[in-house]
């Protein structure tokens, strides 16, 4: 059925398969079914609304509201909120039930929930346990000696990265898995000692690759499989390749920039496959792997019977509109950061570790069950707006609340963007759906003008840095560098400088946020377009829009071209 988006007015399809999955998620309260209404927004507007509540990369210094201790937090100090240091939040020194309240049927639900959020303690960071020597990170666990990495699981000695699984000694990365000693890589898997590369599998000791599999000792190559000693797709002898590498000054910013630009031009002459998907059955999306009967899923692994999910690396079954996580996730809808044995979750943020039947809740974890509109619950059951009820009382009251939410047109909708705890420009929404400040304020959403102070000996422009890393003095860690694009100052930490020196790489001239945006530019939007195969002219569906310059092949033509 064709519908019109309530936000952008674009038409969008909500299919019978979508409807069947949504019906499968119907909750039951007080013995009565409460079907979830069909979405009023298109997929991308629904995603934008969820992401506006999700800040993972912006970290600030502020005081713990409980102890007064200086802490690192995803909430800037100008936000008047009750923020506890992570370990204090998980302690028994406070109870979320102390902030419980009765439901007021004369007012909208979201308004009451926002008031509860403003006073209930929230953890300063979304970090699970098992982390060592990793103070500056968020939405990640099992980390050791890491700095400014986000949204992932298991990393050691990694810096400035996002969306990852099982990596070691990597810096400046986006969406990499099982990699080691890699730098400036995007969507790379099981790679070792690879630099400035995208969409590669099982490669090693190479520079500037795209869509290569099983290659080693290659430079500036695209679409090669099981090759060695190639330079811009030309086969060389070992002696020729070694001579080229010896003359390649890896520590020179100018030389790296030259080969970045040359590789970018070279890649446009080589086709891309309509979608980068591996081992899927009856599934549609991009960067979707080992999945079955799943549609419009992007950057996901091991999904089954799911739709409109993004960045769910750990897999799940029967889910719709979930951004991030997985791992035993089932029957979850319109939520963000959901995982580790969760089931029957609706409209939630940060609900994980064995939680079931949780609705419109935030930061609830460790085997919570039957919660509605709750915040900060651990091992709690049958609560509404943080107030405890008996099972019978809970089901009767929730049934009445849902009927009330139907009247206020809130039931089935995610939280409205205007009540996010973050400015739009602090949230992940600004990366996927960038807007100017004026556009954000015109929509009635929030914008943050807070800037963290930078206390250093001096600030220098990026253009003042020596071209070659070997000429960078040790005390660069005491300075701030003014980004060549955004003009925002940033610092280089010692571990990061050691990484650049060990690998003979130039230190960056762009702010970490700009470098993240540069890597993000290699990824495609979470959209599917109709276009023609550039070779056989067959109709295909792809995440490459028709106006883009890439040569896009259907799978058959691509395989014939590269094998």
Q: What is the 3-state secondary structure (H, E, C) of 317-369?
A: ECCEEEEEEEEEEEEEEEEEEEECCCEEEECCEEEECCCEEEECCEEEECCCE
Q: CA-to-CA distance for 267 and 270, rounded, in angstroms?
A: 5
Three-state SS at 434:
coil
Q: Please report the pLDDT score of residue 455 as a whole number.
A: 86
The secondary structure of residue 97, as a DSSP letter, is G
Question: Which of helix, strand or coil describes residue 162?
Answer: strand
User: In the 8-state DSSP scheme, what is residue 474?
Assistant: G
* Closest by Cα among 455, 454, 422, 453 to 440: 422
CA–CA distance, 362 with 355 (Å, rounded to integer) = 12
- Alpha-carbon Rg for the chain in angstroms: 24
DSSP 8-state class, residue 521 = T
Distance CA 201, CA 333 (A): 32
| Per-residue pLDDT at 483 | 97
Please state whether beta strands 381-384 and 387-388 pair in parallel, antiparallel, or not at all (unpaired). antiparallel
Residue carrying structure tokens 């949204």: 151
- Rounded to the nearest 5 degrees, what angle is found at the Cα of 271, between the Cα atoms of 269 and 272? 135
Cα 563 from Cα 561, distance rounded (Å): 6
- Judged by DSSP in three states, 164 sits in strand
Q: Determine contact, residues 415/51, Cβ cutoff 8 Å.
A: no
Q: What is the DSSP letter of 462?
A: G
529 Cβ contact partners less than 8 Å away, ≥ 6 residues apart? 541, 542, 543, 544, 545, 546
Distance CA 492, CA 479 (A): 8
489 exposure class (CB count in 10 Å sphere: 0-12, 13-18, 19+): middle
Please, which residues have CB within 8 angstroms of residue 371's CB and are 6 or more apart in sequence?
Answer: 355, 357, 358, 359, 361, 364, 377, 380, 381, 382, 383, 384
Distances (CA, A) of 552 to 25, 209, 212: 37, 18, 16
Q: Count Cβ atoms below 10 Å from residue 534 Cβ, excluding itself.
A: 18
Please report the pLDDT score of residue 129 as a whole number: 67
Q: pLDDT tens digits for 465-483?
A: 999 999 999 999 999 999 9
Contact between 447 and 435 under an 8 Å Cβ cutoff? The reply is: no
Question: CB of 194 within 8 A of CB of 202?
Answer: no
The answer to whether the beta carbons of residues 383 and 99 sit under 8 Å apart is no
The pTM score is 0.95
DSSP class of residue 69?
A: -
Per-residue model confidence (pLDDT) at position 563: 85
By three-state DSSP, how is residue 194 classified?
Answer: strand
Residue with tokens 């869509």: 211
Cα 59 from Cα 147, distance rounded (Å): 11
Condensed to tens digits (0 to 9), the pLDDT of residues 62-109 reads 999 999 999 999 999 999 999 999 999 999 999 999 999 999 999 999
3-state helix, strand, coil in the chain (%, to 5): 25, 35, 45
Judge whether 213 and 273 are in contact, CB under 8 Å: no
Quickly count helices (H) and strands (E) in the chain.
12, 37
Q: Which residues of the chain have pLDDT under 70?
A: 129
CA–CA gap between residue 196 and residue 207 (Å, rounded): 6
Q: What is the DSSP string of 205-250?
A: EEES-BS-BS-EEEES-BS-BS-EEEETTEE--HHHHHHHHHT--T
pLDDT on residue 127: 86
Q: Rounded to whole angstroms, what are the CA distances from 280 to 276, 313, 320?
A: 11, 15, 18
CB atoms within 10 A of CB 70: 10
Burial classification of residue 433, based on how many CB atoms lie within 10 Å of its CB (0-12 exposed, 13-18 middle, 19 or more buried): middle
Taking the CA atoms of 68, 425, 171 and 289 in sequence, report the sign of the dihedral they define. Answer: positive
């Amino acid at each position: 059925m064709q519908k019109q988006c309530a936000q952008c007015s674009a038409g969008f399809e909500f299919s019978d398969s979508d409807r069947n999955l949504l019906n499968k998620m119907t909750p039951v309260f007080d013995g009565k079914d409460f079907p979830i209404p069909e979405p009023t927004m298109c997929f991308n507007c629904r995603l934008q609304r969820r992401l506006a509540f999700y800040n993972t990369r912006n970290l600030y210094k502020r005081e713990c509201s409980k102890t007064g201790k200086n802490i690192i937090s995803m909430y800037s100090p100008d936000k008047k909120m009750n923020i506890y240091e992570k370990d204090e939040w998980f302690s028994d020194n406070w109870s979320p039930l102390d902030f419980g309240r009765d439901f007021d049927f004369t007012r909208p639900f979201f308004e009451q929930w926002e008031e509860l959020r403003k006073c209930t303690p929230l953890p300063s960071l979304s970090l699970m346990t098992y982390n060592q020597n990793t103070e500056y990170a968020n939405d990640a666990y099992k980390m050791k000696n890491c700095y400014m990495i986000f949204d992932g699981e298991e990393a050691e000695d990694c810096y400035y990265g996002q969306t990852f699984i099982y990596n070691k000694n990597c810096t400046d990365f986006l969406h990499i898995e099982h990699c080691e000693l890699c730098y400036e890589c995007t969507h790379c898997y099981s790679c070792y000692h690879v630099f400035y590369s995208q969409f590669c599998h099982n490669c090693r000791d190479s520079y500037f690759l795209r869509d290569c599999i099983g290659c080693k000792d290659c430079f500036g190559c695209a679409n090669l499989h099981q090759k060695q000693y190639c330079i811009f797709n030309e086969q060389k002898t070992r002696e020729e390749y070694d001579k080229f590498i010896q003359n390649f000054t890896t520590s020179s910013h100018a030389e790296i920039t030259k080969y970045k630009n040359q590789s970018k031009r070279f890649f446009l002459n080589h086709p891309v496959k309509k979608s980068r998907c591996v081992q899927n059955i009856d599934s549609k999306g991009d960067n979707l792997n080992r999945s079955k009967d799943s549609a419009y899923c992007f950057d996901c692994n091991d999904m089954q019977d799911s739709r409109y999910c993004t960045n769910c690396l750990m897999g799940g079954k029967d889910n719709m509109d979930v951004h991030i996580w997985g791992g035993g996730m089932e029957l979850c809808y319109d939520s963000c950061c959901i995982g580790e044995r969760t089931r029957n979750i609706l409209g939630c943020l940060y609900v994980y570790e064995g939680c079931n039947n949780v609705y419109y809740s935030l930061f609830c974890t460790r085997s919570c069950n039957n919660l509605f509109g709750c915040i900060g619950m651990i091992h709690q059951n049958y609560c509404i707006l943080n107030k405890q009820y008996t099972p019978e009382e809970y089901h009767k009251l929730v049934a009445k609340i849902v009927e009330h939410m139907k009247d206020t047109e809130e039931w089935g909708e995610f939280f409205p963007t205007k009540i996010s705890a973050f400015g739009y420009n602090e949230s992940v929404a600004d990366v996927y759906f960038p807007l100017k400040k004026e556009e954000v304020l015109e929509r009635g959403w929030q914008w943050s003008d807070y800037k963290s102070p930078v206390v250093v000996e001096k600030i220098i422009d990026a253009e003042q840095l020596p071209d070659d890393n070997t000429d960078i003095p040790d005390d660069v860690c005491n300075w701030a560098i003014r980004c060549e694009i955004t003009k925002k100052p940033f610092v280089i930490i010692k571990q990061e400088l050691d990484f650049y020196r060990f690998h003979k790489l130039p230190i960056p001239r762009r702010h970490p946020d700009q470098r993240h945006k540069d890597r993000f530019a290699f990824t495609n939007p979470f959209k599917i377009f109709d276009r023609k195969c550039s070779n056989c002219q067959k109709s295909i569906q792809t995440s490459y829009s028709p106006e883009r310059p890439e040569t896009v092949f259907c799978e058959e033509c691509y395989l014939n071209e590269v094998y």
